[in-house]
């Protein structure tokens, strides 16, 4: 089994693997990164807010910015267009068939939304928004999910005033315990079941692309 | 040129034709048949000359293999820029996936990044933040390893039921290549990890240079174990669509972590919890809670032929049943094949002993009696894990997980040789 599962569980560590770097040989390759270079690329924002920039924005201002940059795919109300992601709605659907996973219903950390909008959006012109615009867009997405009002000024100071509904909705990979019965040295080879009947056919659904 | 035959019949027409022709062939072996003109008459290719060595500086497969290509499923995603396609595993053999037909998954499209414009930054909790050029990377000691790369969503469309009719579409989000590159450990040590202190709760955050800036957090223990910074695959430069000039290889772990166009490695004291490790690539269970950090790809296998896109055309008699098996937890130790939907199993022949986190080819050579079969395969790995049925997975996870579906696949092979993706009791 994965050694890392032990690490996550806080038990034994593979200490030999972890200990060696102090003795590592260096090759003298590469050059030191300059501060402004690191600043240009190191944009990620962590769940505890590390990396959040100065700036602020609210949903009132964000509505127009969202319509300009995001609405074509995500809809003016963050409801999604065609197959593009829906960013709002879906509250209390996670235990239903086909749950609707949105920023409001699913995303556990607000940092993820800010980080993603700032680094990866808008689709086709990423990293063109100002930090104030990103704050405003994130505020509008939160507003669309009824998580803040339209005057709430989102900034690094107010960031953790926002409660993400599904913050407690995640557990760490537990397959080695919840699926421990898949580890069996003696899989059935004969008489494993009495009969076999077809319960579903792909041809009936007919959604496979044609090869021609 | 002299060979002008281009009229490749469609697969379905070919199958129908083959079934009809099968009777003729069978009777031909009994009665005295007419001599085969392909043998008795001098063919063009046996008389005229072919292409010179300057005709194809870099070769593609011959035109008769033009249907062995990546395919996508249009309705899966909103557009093809942020989308996925599928390896034609039904038509391949052996274990190495040719780069030209190995599946692609992009979040903002495949980019053209010249080696000269390539920079790799290591920053965060390191003694000296560093910038490497492509040439710098080529000067570090190099390693070669064969690993599979499987998208966490492979077989994801099949959670709620049999849906896509073909191994390419149900299991084709996978490829297996020989990578050449530098161990991530070497690069981290070059930057120095003293300042990071106790490494057991540290992470590396890796990120790509494309517009999606796809980023993932990897625990330091994995980063220092077997992760590669790769620049060659199957002996040649990575293809653009696989991250040219440099990608990350994270053996046994979900493909999304294999960041392409790798541009930055940051040592951190926490997981960044980026979009691709929270809103995506997490597994929602029946009660609405979701598993995260489900990085390891569990043992899995599939019969690649016969299968819906690779029907039996030769009638009863000797038949090669073949497929692929793999495990992110180690090596494949065995594969069992069932012809009757899981009532009885027999051990398949591995083409070569399983190797760590790489594809294994299996064969079962049978004498097909021409009756319908419910073909299944079941992988076993070096951790003692046995590939579960879809029912077993659903019992634990429900229907909404999307990702990490490693269930046993069933092909209903009919007496006419056609095969269909089905679920069985």
Q: Does residue A141 lie within any of the structural domains?
A: yes
- Please measure the distance between the N-terminal and C-terminal CA atoms of chain A and give it in whole angstroms: 44
CB contact under 8 A, B400 and A97: yes
Q: Which of B272, B341, B420 faces A44 most closely, judged by CB atoms?
A: B272
Interface of B with A in 303-332 (CB under 8 A): 308-309, 329
Identify the band that residue A18 occupies on the pLDDT scale cut at 50, 70 and 90.
Answer: low
Does the structure show a pLDDT above 70 at B11? no
ipTM value for the complex = 0.89
CB contact under 8 A, B107 and A120: yes
Residues B271 and B304 in one domain: no
- In this predicted structure, the answer to whether residue B23 has a pLDDT above a threshold of 50 is no
Classify residue A209 as exposed, middle or buried by CB count within 10 Å of its CB (0-12, 13-18, 19+).
middle
Out of A127, A200, A208, name the one closest to residue B166 (CB). A208
Mutate to test the interface with B, among A42, A44, A112, A122 (most CBs of B within 10 A): A44
Mean pLDDT, all residues of chain B: 93
Contact B288, B237 (CB under 8 A): no
**CB proximity B286 to A under 8 Å:** yes
Residue B49 lies in a domain: no
Give the closest of B163, B224, B387 to A17, CB-based: B224
Find chain B residues with C-beta within 8 A of A106's C-beta: 279, 290
Q: Which of B129, B133, B131 is nearest to B117 (CA)?
A: B133
**Domain count across chain B:** 2
Please determine, for residue B26, whether its predicted confidence score (pLDDT) is greater than 80: no
Q: Which of B260, B288, B316 is the last residue of a domain?
A: B288
Q: Which two tokens stand for residue B202?
A: 């540290």
How many residues are given for chain A? 212
Residues of B in contact with A209 (CB under 8 A): 71-74, 169
Residues of A within 8 A of B284 (CB-CB) are 94, 99, 101
Instruction: Give a yes or no: residue B137 inside a domain.
Output: yes
Q: Do B342 and A192 touch (CB under 8 A)?
A: yes
Contacting residues of A for B133, CB less than 8 Å apart: 30
Return the minimum-mean-pLDDT range out of A59-63, B15-19, B181-185, B329-333. Answer: B15-19
B136 part of contact set with chain A, CB < 8 Å: yes
Indicate the range of A24-38, A152-166, A198-212, B189-203 predicted with least confidence.
A198-212
Convert the pLDDT of each residue in A184-201 to its tens digit. Answer: 978 999 999 999 999 999
User: Tens digit of pLDDT for each residue in B40-56?
Assistant: 999 999 999 999 999 99
| Probe site for chain B from A16, A30, A178 (most B CB atoms < 10 A) | A30
Please choose, from the candidates B406, B412, B365, the residue with its C-alpha nearest in 3D space to the C-alpha of residue B150.
Answer: B406
B21 pLDDT more than 80: no
- Minimum distance, in Å, between the CA of residue B410 and any CA atom of chain A: 10
Question: Quick one: pLDDT at residue A206?
Answer: 79
Find the mean pLDDT for residues B16-26: 45
Taking the C-alpha atoms of residue B7 and residue B11, their distance in angstroms, rounded to an integer, is 12
pLDDT tens sequence across B277-286? 999 999 999 9
At residue B22, the pLDDT reads 43
Domain boundary among B288, B316, B332: B288
Strand partners, A198: B424
Statement to judge: residues B108 and B203 lie in one domain: yes
| Domain that residue B183 falls in | 98-165+174-288
Residues B240 and B128 in one domain: yes
Residue B12 has pLDDT above 70, yes or no: no
Chain A interface mutation, best of B7, B108, B109, B162, highest count of A Cβ atoms under 10 Å: B162
* CB-CB under 8 Å, A195 with B130: no
3-class secondary-structure state, position B410: strand
Instruction: Classify residue B14: in a domain, yes or no.
Output: no
Which pLDDT score is estimated for A24? 61
Residue B29: pLDDT band with limits 50, 70, 90: low
Whether A70 is covered by a domain: the verdict is yes
Side-chain-side CA neighbours of B366 within 13 Å: the count stands at 21
Selected residue with higher pLDDT from B405 and A186: B405
- Say whether A192 and B343 touch across the interface (CB within 8 A): yes
pLDDT at A10: 40
A62 occurs within a structural domain: yes
Domain identity same for B251 and B119: yes
Residue A23, in any domain of the structure: no
Q: Which residue of A has its CA nearest to B392?
A: A182
Q: Is the pLDDT of residue B6 over 90?
A: no
Return d(Cα A2, Cα B219) in angstroms, integer: 13
Kind and range of the H or E run holding B326: strand B317-326
DSSP label at residue A165? T
B139: confidence class by pLDDT, cuts 50, 70, 90 = very high
Residues of B in contact with A100 (CB under 8 A): none
Q: What pLDDT, on a 0 to 100 scale, did the predictor assign at position B141?
A: 97
Quote the CA–CA distance of B202 and A13 in Å, as a whole number: 13
**B344 min Cα distance to partner chain A (Å):** 4
pLDDT at position A23 is 56
B185 contacts on A by Cβ (under 8 Å)? 21
pLDDT of residue B121: 98
In a domain, A119, yes or no: yes
Do B266 and B180 belong together in one domain?
yes
Write out pLDDT tens, residues B297-323.
999 999 999 999 999 999 999 999 999
The residue to which tokens 């960013």 are assigned: A87
Residue B293, in any domain of the structure: no
Contact: B279, A207; criterion CB under 8 Å: no
CATH of the domain at B139: 3.90.420.10
Q: Which of residues 147-206 of B touch A (CB under 8 A)?
A: 161-166, 169, 185, 188-194, 199-200, 205
pLDDT category at A6 given cuts 50, 70, 90 is very low
Q: Is A109 on the interface with B (CB under 8 A)?
A: yes
Confidence at residue A204, expressed as pLDDT on a 0 to 100 scale: 82
User: CATH no. for residue B398?
Assistant: 2.60.40.650
The answer to whether residue B381 is domain-embedded is: yes
Minimum mean pLDDT range among A106-110, A134-138, B19-23, B141-145: B19-23
> Is residue B121 domain-resident?
yes
**Is residue A177 in a domain?**
no
CA distance, residue B24 to nearest chain A CA (Å): 27
* A111: containing domain: 45-161
Beta partners for residue B83, in sequence order: B106
Is the same domain home to B159 and B265? yes
Indicate whether A63 pLDDT > 50. yes
pLDDT at res. A209: 85
Residue A11, pLDDT > 60, answer: no
Rounded Cα–Cα distance for residues B147 and B177 (Å): 6
Residues near A10 by Cβ (< 8 Å), separated by ≥ 6? none
Q: How confident is the model at residue A210 (pLDDT cuts 50, 70, 90)?
A: confident
Looking at the structure, do residues B106 and B208 belong to the same domain, yes or no? yes
B27 part of contact set with chain A, CB < 8 Å: no
For residue B5, tell me if it sits in a domain: no
Same domain, B240 and B160: yes
In a domain? residue B57: no
Band (pLDDT 50/70/90 cuts) for residue B31 is low
CATH number at residue A94: 1.10.760.10
Is the pLDDT score of A22 beyond 90? no
Other beta carbons within 10 angstroms of residue B195's beta carbon come to 12
B179 touches B144 (CB < 8 A):
yes
User: How large is the average pLDDT for residues B68-95?
Assistant: 94
What's the total number of domains in chain A? 1
Nearest-CA distance B36 → chain A (Å) = 31
Read off the pLDDT of residues B151-175 as tens digits, 9 standing for 90 and up: 999 999 999 899 999 999 999 999 9
Alpha-carbon span A129 to B128, nearest angstrom: 31
Does A193 contact B at CB distance below 8 Å? yes
One domain for residues B267 and B350: no
Within 8 A by CB and 6+ apart from B367, the residues are B316, B317, B318, B319
End of a domain among B233, B264, B288?
Answer: B288
């Amino acid at each position: 089994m994965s050694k890392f599962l032990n690490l996550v569980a806080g038990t034994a560590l593979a200490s030999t693997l972890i200990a060696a770097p102090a003795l590592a040989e260096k090759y003298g390759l590469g050059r030191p990164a300059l501060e402004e270079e690191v600043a240009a690329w190191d944009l990620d924002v962590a769940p505890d807010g590390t990396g959040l920039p100065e700036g602020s924005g609210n949903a009132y201002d964000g509505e127009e910015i969202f319509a300009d940059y995001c609405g074509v795919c995500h809809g003016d109300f963050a409801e999604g267009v065609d197959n593009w992601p829906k960013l709002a709605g879906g509250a209390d659907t996670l235990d239903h068939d086909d749950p609707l996973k949105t920023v409001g219903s699913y995303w556990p950390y607000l940092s993820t939304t800010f980080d993603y909008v700032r680094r990866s959006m808008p689709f086709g012109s990423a990293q063109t928004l100002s930090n104030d615009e990103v704050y405003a867009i994130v505020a509008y997405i939160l507003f669309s999910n009824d998580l803040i009002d339209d005057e709430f000024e989102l900034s690094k100071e107010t960031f953790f005033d926002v409660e993400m509904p599904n913050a407690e909705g995640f557990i760490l990979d537990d397959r080695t315990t919840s699926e421990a019965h898949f580890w069996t040295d003696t899989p059935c080879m004969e008489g494993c079941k009495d009969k076999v009947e077809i319960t579903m056919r792909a041809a009936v659904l007919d959604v496979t692309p044609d090869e021609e | 040129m002299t060979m002008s035959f281009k009229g490749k019949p469609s697969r379905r027409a070919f199958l129908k034709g083959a079934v009809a022709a099968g009777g003729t062939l069978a009777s031909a072996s009994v009665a005295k048949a007419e001599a085969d003109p392909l043998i008795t008459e001098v063919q063009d290719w046996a008389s005229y000359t072919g292409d010179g060595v300057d005709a194809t500086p870099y070769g593609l497969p011959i035109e008769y293999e033009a249907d062995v290509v990546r395919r996508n499923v249009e309705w899966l995603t909103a557009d093809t820029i942020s989308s996925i396609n599928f390896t034609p595993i039904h038509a391949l053999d052996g274990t190495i996936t040719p780069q030209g037909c190995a599946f692609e998954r992009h979040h903002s499209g495949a980019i053209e990044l010249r080696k000269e414009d390539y920079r790799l930054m290591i920053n965060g909790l390191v003694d000296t933040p560093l910038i490497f050029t492509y040439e710098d990377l080529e000067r570090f000691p190099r390693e070669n390893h064969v690993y599979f790369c499987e998208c966490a969503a492979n077989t994801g469309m099949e959670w709620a039921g049999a849906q896509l009719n073909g191994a390419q579409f149900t299991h084709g989000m996978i490829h297996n290549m020989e990578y050449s590159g530098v161990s991530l450990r070497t690069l981290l040590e070059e930057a120095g990890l003293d300042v990071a202190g106790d490494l057991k709760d540290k992470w590396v955050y890796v990120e790509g240079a494309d517009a999606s800036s796809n980023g993932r957090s990897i625990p330091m223990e994995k980063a220092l174990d077997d992760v590669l910074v790769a620049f060659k695959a199957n002996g040649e430069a990575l293809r653009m669509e696989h991250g040219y000039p440099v990608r990350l290889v994270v053996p046994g772990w979900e493909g999304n972590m294999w960041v392409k166009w790798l541009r930055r490695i940051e040592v951190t004291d926490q997981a960044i919890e980026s979009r691709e490790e929270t809103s995506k690539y997490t597994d929602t269970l029946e009660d609405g809670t979701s598993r995260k950090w489900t990085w390891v790809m569990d043992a899995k296998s599939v019969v690649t032929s016969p299968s819906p896109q690779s029907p039996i055309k030769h009638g009863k008699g000797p038949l090669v049943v073949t497929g692929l098996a793999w495990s992110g937890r180690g090596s494949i130790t065995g594969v069992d094949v069932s012809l009757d939907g899981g009532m009885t199993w027999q051990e398949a022949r591995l083409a070569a002993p399983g190797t760590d986190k790489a594809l294994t080819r299996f064969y079962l050579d049978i004498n097909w009696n021409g009756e319908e079969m419910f073909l299944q395969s079941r992988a076993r790995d070096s951790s003692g894990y046995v590939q579960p049925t879809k029912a077993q997975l659903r019992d634990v996870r429900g229907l909404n997980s999307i990702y990490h579906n490693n269930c046993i696949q069933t092909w209903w092979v009919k007496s006419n040789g056609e095969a269909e993706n089905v679920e069985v009791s």
